[in-house]
Amino acid sequence: MDEIDKKIINALQNGFPICDAPYQQVAGQLNLTEQELLARLTILLDNGTLTRFGPLYNAELMGGALTLAAVKAPHDRFDELTDIINSFPEVAHNYARNHELNMWFVLATDAPEQIAQTIMAIEQKTGLTVYNMPKIKEYFVNLKLEA
């Protein structure tokens, strides 16, 4: 990743135009050619520096539901419990964290009532209590990290 890549990553976190030739427009602002921008963007996505490039949707406004949930996974069962929980397609993200509640996952479903059903199914399959912490209010969401 060089200075030009950093410039591209920073610029593209601030939005992207909706017009006939948007890459050409962005390339012009960055003093690059359209082909160079597209080539570098392809590499940044292929090597995982960028996890995604495109529209980011708000699931709740489309009728879907999200929640953040956590379990206390005993260390001797951690891998087994990871496999069980990850096997649910509703589990979008799952992170190990340094706390007694040591496994935190996001559930994303097409409809709100499926959240409770999924949590019940996870509790049955794991034998653990799932701590369900759906958001009550969103104060801010915007992930921008300077490269």
Partner 1 sequence: MMVDETDRKIIQATQAGLPLTTQPYQTLADQLALTAEEIMQRLSAMKNSGIIRRIGAVPNHYKLGYRFNGMTVWNIVDEMIDELGQKVGQLDFVSHCYQRPRKLPEWPYNLFAMVHGKSQDEVDLQIRKISELLSDNNLGCDVLYSTKILKKTGFRSAMQHATD
We find the least distance from the C-beta atom of residue 121 to partner 1, in angstroms, to be 16
Rounded-to-integer distance, Cα 37 and Cα 4, Å: 9
**Residue whose CB is less far from partner 1, 34 or 121:** 34
Rounded-to-integer distance, Cα 131 and Cα 67, Å: 10
**Residue whose CB is less far from partner 1, 31 or 143:** 143
Rounded-to-integer distance, Cα 60 and Cα 40, Å: 33
Binding positions for partner 1, 60-79, rule CB under 8 A = 61-64, 66, 68
Binding positions for partner 1, 89-118, rule CB under 8 A = 91-101, 103-106, 108
Q: Coil, strand, or helix at residue 112?
A: coil
Binding positions for partner 1, 15-54, rule CB under 8 A = 15-16, 18-24, 34, 38, 41-42, 44-45, 47-54
Rounded-to-integer distance, Cα 72 and Cα 39, Å: 45
Scanning 111-119, 120-128, 133-141 for contacts with partner 1 by CB under 8 A, the matching segment is 133-141
Q: What is the DSSP letter of 39?
A: H
We find the least distance from the C-beta atom of residue 68 to partner 1, in angstroms, to be 5
We find the least distance from the C-beta atom of residue 77 to partner 1, in angstroms, to be 14
Which tokens go with 102?
Answer: 């040591």
**Residue whose CB is less far from partner 1, 42 or 117:** 42
Rounded-to-integer distance, Cα 102 and Cα 74, Å: 9
Out of 74, 113, 123, 134, the only residue in the binding site for partner 1 (CB under 8 A) is 134
How far does Cα 45 stand from its chain's mean position?
15
